[in-house]
Amino acid sequence: MTPKLLFRRIAVAEAITWALLLIGMFLKYVTETTELGVRIFGMLHGVVFIAYGLIAIATWINQKWSLRTGLMALVSAIPPFATILFDRSAEAAGHLEGPWRFAAGGDAPASLPERVLAWLTRNPALAAVMGVVAVAGLTGIALFVGPPASGS
């Protein structure tokens, strides 16, 4: 799977879970019929949000994005559907082209983040397991910390 395809899939998934969360919020706060949508879709969106952030960082390292482009990728997860807009603009600018640079036979990593990415791209099954563990761990931390305090 190319960086472009992986990034696109997670960007679309993040936008879809945003839509589901917005539907859940509509049901909870506008129709006042159920909180179930917020509970289920909120958790789902949180998990995909974290996965998007990790994949955006891996793509940032692989594609040698500028600080501005990398931060824009991360910030695009905050407003609903902005990950799709970022994905399209990054593709148009050529920021998603090419293979995984550090795959077997590829570039030699020069920094610690590149060495980590090289190991992950050369061990995709372990990378997938580590990704699931990282997302689960970060989700657990987010659940422990809890939602932002409301103004009341």
Residue-number span of the structural domain to which 109 is assigned = 3-145
Tell whether 49 is covered by a domain.
Answer: yes
Domain membership of residue 151 (yes or no) is no
pTM, two decimal places: 0.92
- Residue 130 within any structural domain of the chain: yes
119 within a domain of the structure (yes/no): yes
Which whole-number Å values give the CA distances from 128 to 20, 36, 46, 83, in the listed order?
25, 30, 18, 22
Q: State how many domains the chain has.
A: 1
Give domain status of residue 10, yes or no: yes
Is 56 among the domain residues?
A: yes
The pLDDT tens digits for 66-114 are 999 999 999 999 999 999 999 999 999 999 999 999 998 999 999 999 9
Strand, helix or coil for residue 110: coil
The answer to the question of residue 152 being in a domain is no
Is there a domain that residue 90 lies in? yes
pLDDT in tens, 20-78: 999 999 999 999 999 999 999 999 999 999 999 999 999 999 999 999 999 999 999 99
12 Cβ contact list (under 8 Å, min separation 6): 83, 84, 87
